[in-house]
Chains A and B, each alone.
Chain A
Amino acid sequence: MLGSNVSISGLSKSFGDFKALKDVSLEIKKGEFFSLLGPSGCGKTTLLRLIAGFEDPDSGLVSIDGRDVTGLPPDKRRCNTVFQSYALFPHLTVFENVAFPLRIRKTPGKKVRELVKRHLDLVQLEKHADKKPSQLSGGQKQRVAIARALINEPSVLLLDEPLSALDAKLRQHMLVELDSIHDEVGITFIYVTHDQAEALSVSDRIAVMDGGKILQVGSPQDIYENPKAEFVARFIGDTNLFSGKVVSFSNGISLVQDERIGAIKVEAGNEAPEGSWVSVAVRPEKIRISLAPPAEAGPLGNVVKGMVDEPIYSGFQSKYYVRTPGGGHLVVFRQHAQWSEGVPDIKWKDEVWLSWSARDAVVVEASGTSIAPVVSGDSLDE
């Protein structure tokens, strides 16, 4: 496929009885910042290790730049890895760590100095060249690992949860730095993470994985706004899930009967025909919360009454857990976009009205089965 950099087809891998990857296929484009997102044990790291060549697949093919590399050892592949634990060589200085790939290839000393300097500049570590890894902070080690992985000028950079060992503040900072390094070197980044915020903020595309399978591939907006599986909706961000039978369908609006909340209007085209069972997700920030009933519901409006179970104030917004009379639970965000003096505060035990548009509801599952890997972009079909 044109412009495809890493191509994976039908990849499976088991460790003993554990099936880590089940027939996974994927196309990653040149220059893309591509994330593999999922909980631990979902197979994302296994997939990365198969691409790097640390493991051999039970079946399936991996090709890089159109060349089949399945079965080739790591040193024969044009990709390099940034390890979760950094894997810096403790007996070598920062300079020699970064120079390692060049020394292996017996690059002349002058060229080595030049290239190492350029790469240390890239990660802003030129001052630390003579230090040993044990003298560096976590973030500095991380950057050495990146410089070292880039010096071979790989076609793909594989990053295995590179930020997980850093504290929250530093993680944000490194993420921005990674993004700008990506822009500067222009090669493909494949980024493994379990942190949805990381994946959403830097990726061009994301593959959400669970149980050894890819559930959905798409842009961050796609994944967030239009999850195609209950797992994706739940794993990424907070979400309200409703489920029930579609009792009527007219003018493109399906009426879903949730046993705890009641009838809910969903605009989902033909994804929710009358008589089918569906699961529907609504993001908490799409729901408005007020002490007074909303003025007008309209044909697309959903209105639910409830009581605040737990208000959580976090500065820029508040999060409310609301219980409906039928025993349903909803979560709602309210942005504190302006200082609203005079507007009564919503407190614990307050009676509140929740309202949202039928357009903001997304069908994530229909007829009790998940909508099987609907992939967008250039991914192969199953």
Chain B
Amino acid sequence: MSRRKVPSFSDAVFWTVVVFLFMPLFVLLLYSFNASKGGTFTGFSLVWYERLFFGSDQLWKAFGKSVSIALGSASLATFLGTLAAVGTSRYKFFGKGYVQAMSFVPMILPEIVMGVSLLVFFAGLGLKLGMATILIAHTTFNIPFVYLLVSARLEEFDSSVIEAARDLGANEMQTLLKVIVPMIVPGILSGWLTAVTLSLEDFVITFFVAGPGSTTLPLYIYSAIRFGVSPVINALSVVMVVGTVLLVYPSRRFLKAFAAGA
């Protein structure tokens, strides 16, 4: 049976929300083509894009650092989170409740508290703040997301498949690598992608655990916009949104499949 016509009030709210959400992006787009640096639009120009690509070494260095931390922390978190999800979904053991609780609490702790506590912790250990401390921090806040997504996937699958594998002669390692992991690949993948995104995006925690020489892209953006207008950042934002859309658009079928699986 067809759905009834949507009440117009909620539709009006929805489209207002869409305009509200997109408005800042359009302003960025507009200003990125502005000939002058100030807020007033003085004419069309590509000068900020030129500056972005040919005169922003620091920015691209920060970008490189962000990407390497994102890939590293996401992979580490995916490894740890997947193993733990397999363990807690298949077995009962002493400390299981602790592992589950530890995997949930970080998600609801305000970022600022996690950032401060890690800073205090690293200071107490005498660790020098830098890429390593950022990597540790990012892995820590990424683990719960991977764990949750992989667990959700594991919950869905039929455990008799594992029994069948054991029955047919596979040992624990073979069962894990040849049966369980292939079946939960969508969950692992979405966990990894989530972790990469969260890491690239993080500002607050990184702000506390970063040291000299470990400026990630969000930290670079922060220092750039702190002191007012920065049209290069406008251009960068436009490039990032367009880049993401170009990346996502061709793979949207894959994304849909993976979103359905997660």
Q: Are A54 and B4 in contact (CB under 8 A)?
A: yes
Q: Are B4 and A15 in contact (CB under 8 A)?
A: no
**Does B8 sit within 8 A of A, measured CB to CB?**
no
> Which residues does chain A contribute within 8 Å of B2, judged by CB atoms?
15-16
> Which residues does chain B contribute within 8 Å of A49, judged by CB atoms?
1
**Does A324 sit within 8 A of B, measured CB to CB?**
no
Count, chain B residues at interface, CB 8 A: 3
Chain A nearest CB, measured from B51 CB (Å):
52
**Does A309 sit within 8 A of B, measured CB to CB?**
no
Chain B nearest CB, measured from A47 CB (Å):
12
Main SS at interface, chain B: loop
Chain A residues numbered 45-90 whose CB sits less than 8 Å from any CB in chain B: 45-46, 49, 54-55
> Which residues does chain A contribute within 8 Å of B4, judged by CB atoms?
54-55
Q: How far is the CA of A46 from the CA of B4 in the complex (A)?
A: 12
Chain B nearest CB, measured from A72 CB (Å):
15
Chain A nearest CB, measured from B2 CB (Å):
4
Chain A residues numbered 312-346 whose CB sits less than 8 Å from any CB in chain B: none
> Which residues does chain B contribute within 8 Å of A16, judged by CB atoms?
2
Q: How far is the CA of A45 from the CA of B2 in the complex (A)?
A: 11
Q: How far is the CA of A132 from the CA of B75 in the complex (A)?
A: 47
> Which residues does chain B contribute within 8 Å of A54, judged by CB atoms?
4
Chain B nearest CB, measured from A173 CB (Å):
28
Q: How far is the CA of A37 from the CA of B79 in the complex (A)?
A: 59
> Which residues does chain A contribute within 8 Å of B1, judged by CB atoms?
45-46, 49
Chain B residues numbered 1-58 whose CB sits less than 8 Å from any CB in chain A: 1-2, 4
Q: Determine the residue in chain A with the shortest Cβ distance to B5.
A: A56
Q: Determine the residue in chain B with the shortest Cβ distance to A15.
A: B2
Q: How far is the CA of A15 from the CA of B4 in the complex (A)?
A: 11
Chain A nearest CB, measured from B174 CB (Å):
44
Chain A residues numbered 198-234 whose CB sits less than 8 Å from any CB in chain B: none
Give the residue among A16, A45, A55 with the most B Cβ atoms within 10 A. A55
Beta-carbon contacts of B85-111 to A below 8 Å, as 1s and 0s? 000000000000000000000000000
Q: How far is the CA of A55 from the CA of B3 in the complex (A)?
A: 9
Q: How far is the CA of A55 from the CA of B1 in the complex (A)?
A: 10
Chain B residues numbered 113-152 whose CB sits less than 8 Å from any CB in chain A: none
Q: Determine the residue in chain B with the shortest Cβ distance to A56.
A: B5
Q: How far is the CA of A54 from the CA of B5 in the complex (A)?
A: 10
Chain A nearest CB, measured from B112 CB (Å):
37
Beta-carbon contacts of B168-208 to A below 8 Å, as 1s and 0s? 00000000000000000000000000000000000000000
Beta-carbon contacts of A6-22 to B below 8 Å, as 1s and 0s? 00000000011000000
> Which residues does chain B contribute within 8 Å of A46, judged by CB atoms?
1
Chain B nearest CB, measured from A275 CB (Å):
46
Chain A nearest CB, measured from B246 CB (Å):
34
Q: How far is the CA of A62 from the CA of B70 in the complex (A)?
A: 64
Chain A nearest CB, measured from B13 CB (Å):
21
> Which residues does chain B contribute within 8 Å of A45, judged by CB atoms?
1
Residues of B within 8 A of A (CB): 1-2, 4
> What would be 7 A-B contacts, judged by CB atoms less than 8 Å apart?
A15-B2, A16-B2, A45-B1, A46-B1, A49-B1, A54-B4, A55-B4
A-B CB proximity, top 4 nearest: A15-B2, A45-B1, A54-B4, A55-B4
